């Protein structure tokens, strides 16, 4: 079955440091999505990447989709305490009847003052 692996599992950074989480799929993806889940909350959609090699930015967040559409990364520049949470990538695999998201294992980010 489809698998999406994500590393690291945990990351502690000092406020102001950068942070990157990496996502890898065993098979080619239709697209990849990123979600953020605050402690105690539900996942919230951040962005979708569709094209091979695509790069998108949202303020301090930079998202990349690999050329082979099998990997992706999320980079946060100069982390802030508001960035705390778990970041999930999710790969979209078309099944013919419904597109199903397979979530990565997530990276829990802790930002220390």
Partner 1 sequence: SQTIHQWPATLVQPVGSPLSLECTVEGTSNPNLYWYRQAAGRGLQLLFYSVGIGQISSEVPQNLSASRPQDRQFILSSKKLLLSDSGFYLCAWSWESGYTFGSGTRLTVV
- Positions that interact with partner 1 (CB under 8 A): 33, 35, 41-45, 48, 88, 90, 97-106, 108
In the complex, the smallest distance separating the C-beta of residue 106 from partner 1, rounded to whole angstroms, is: 5
**DSSP codes, 9-41:** SEEEEETT--EEEEEEESS--SEEEEEEE-TTS
With contact defined as beta carbons under 8 Å apart, do 7 and 107 qualify? yes
Of 66 and 104, which CB lies nearer to partner 1 in the complex structure?
Answer: 104
In the complex, the smallest distance separating the C-beta of residue 97 from partner 1, rounded to whole angstroms, is: 6
Of 2 and 17, which CB lies nearer to partner 1 in the complex structure?
Answer: 2
With contact defined as beta carbons under 8 Å apart, do 4 and 100 qualify? no
Phi (first) and psi of residue 81, to 5 degrees: -60, -25
Of 40 and 113, which CB lies nearer to partner 1 in the complex structure?
Answer: 40
């Amino acid at each position: 079955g489809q698998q999406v692996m994500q590393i690291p599992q945990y990351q502690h950074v000092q406020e102001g440091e950068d942070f990157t989480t990496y996502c890898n799929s065993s098979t080619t993806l239709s697209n990849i999505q990123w979600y953020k889940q605050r402690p105690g909350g539900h996942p919230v959609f951040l962005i979708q990447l569709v094209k091979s090699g695509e790069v998108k930015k949202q303020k301090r967040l930079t998202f990349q989709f690999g050329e082979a559409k099998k990997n992706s990364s999320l980079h946060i520049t100069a982390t802030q305490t508001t960035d705390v949470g778990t970041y999930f990538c999710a790969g979209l695999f078309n099944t013919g009847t419904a597109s199903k998201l397979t979530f990565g294992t997530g990276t829990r980010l802790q930002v220390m003052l």
